[in-house]
Amino acid sequence: MNKQTVRDIELKGKRVLVRVDFNVPLDPQTKAISDDSRIRAALPTIKYLLDKKSKVILCSHLGRPNGKVIEDMRLAPVAKRLSELLKRPVPCTRDCIGPEVEEAVSKMKKGDILMLENLRFHAEEEKNDPAFARALAKLADVYVNDAFGTAHRAHASTEGVTKYLPAVAGFLMEKEIDYLGKALAGAAHPFAAIIGGAKVSDKMALLDNILGKVDYLLIGGGMCCTFLKSQNYGVGKSQVEEDKLSVARDLMGKAAKTGVELVLPEDVVVADKFATGAQYKTAPINSIPSDWYVMDIGPRTVKNFSDRLRKCQTAFWNGTMGVFEYKEFRAGTEGIAKQLASLKATTITGGGSTAEAVMELGLEKKMSHVSTGGGAALEFLEGKTLPGVAALLDKKT
């Protein structure tokens, strides 16, 4: 990564504003944190700053309060969980800017930590309002962005604040950029990309950008139906993006011309409805019932994909292979996850539903990297510039 990190800047005794991504899922009934992986992912940076005797001021958003104070979206439960992980108190302010916050920061001693209230209680955060960014910057001497999951947004706390403070990356940001960068340049070959998800349109830029970099392109998920239809297979009542059929055919043509093996499913799991308890069965792709839905890749396809993956030195995975939220239709995703976990290779999973599936299966520690950023990972792999990364200081030559 060509950006400066916390290693490159003087930190002792400094007030350090750290943008973290603590937008964690909360149980709808108890409001307890149901997955603390994003909090854990930020611990290396937080501990490093505390060890350097910095005054650590954390800021994050939680949910979508749309510029209003929503009691259920306060960050106190997150501060409580962080205090348990750090084994020390983490006080939380009732706002993220203003005189009371400034007073709390002024009382901090070297090695202290403080969490600011939900940034998105202020509409100015998402508008990247300069006055709001200045108010945040007023709290600190240095800015650290460790929130890769929000790096694709030019918000006050990700881009605006960098105009007023020296800005560097945290360890999680560095790790994300380094690992995802391997999927775009310098990957060891053979290299496979497994791409799933619901729609081809959601992944077209990714597919186009990664096509010339891989040896195998394995297509699953609901989007495989558009590819299958483009090859004149019937896909029952499954969603097909009719306006993307020619795009799918063109992509397959490009793959053939560049020597990339693009692999579609040979069999799929089909069901009579989207529901737990639905009738379902495995069908070859030339025998999909006209009134059923494609819900997952089939066992023969899992084997075909796995045969390619076993040859690889690098594998990147984005998008589940089926409707993973229903237990009947998770075998494809589980099969691919277990195969990746068994490889002696660099294995990178790209955010969102893919990361959730890997964690639910308890396989995250067997992957080289599980991205914490869904949209950010996708945009990075599409070759787009992420505002929250671009705004950081470049490494000194």
Catalytic residue among 94, 199, 300, 338: 199
What's residue 351's pLDDT? 66
Identify whether 68 is a catalytic site residue.
no
Catalytic residue among 15, 38, 74, 213: 38
Q: For 119-164, how does the pLDDT look when each residue is reduced to its tens digit (9 = 90+)?
A: 999 999 999 999 999 999 999 999 999 999 999 999 999 999 999 9
| Distance separating alpha carbons of residues 26 and 29, to the nearest angstrom | 9
Q: For 196-238, how does the pLDDT look when each residue is reduced to its tens digit (9 = 90+)?
A: 988 888 888 889 888 889 999 999 999 999 999 999 999 999 9
**Half-sphere CA count of 234, side-chain side, radius 13 A:** 11
Identify whether 300 is a catalytic site residue.
no
| Distance separating alpha carbons of residues 235 and 110, to the nearest angstrom | 63
DSSP for 140-196, written as a single string: -SEEEE--GGGTTS--TTTTGGGGTS-EEE-HHHHHHHHHHHHTTSS--SSEEEEE-
CB atoms within 10 A of CB 36: 16
Domains and CATH numbers, the chain: 6-175 (3.40.50.1260), 183-381 (3.40.50.1260)
Identify whether 7 is a catalytic site residue.
no
Identify whether 375 is a catalytic site residue.
yes
Is 53 within 8 Å of 110 (Cβ atoms)?
yes
Please name the residues in contact with 165: beta carbons below 8 A apart, sequence gap of 6 or more.
Answer: 17, 137, 140, 141, 142, 143
DSSP-derived 3-state class of residue 294: strand
Which amino acid is located at 1 in the chain?
A: M
Catalytic residue among 350, 352, 373, 374: 352
Q: Which residue has the higher pLDDT, 321 or 34?
A: 321
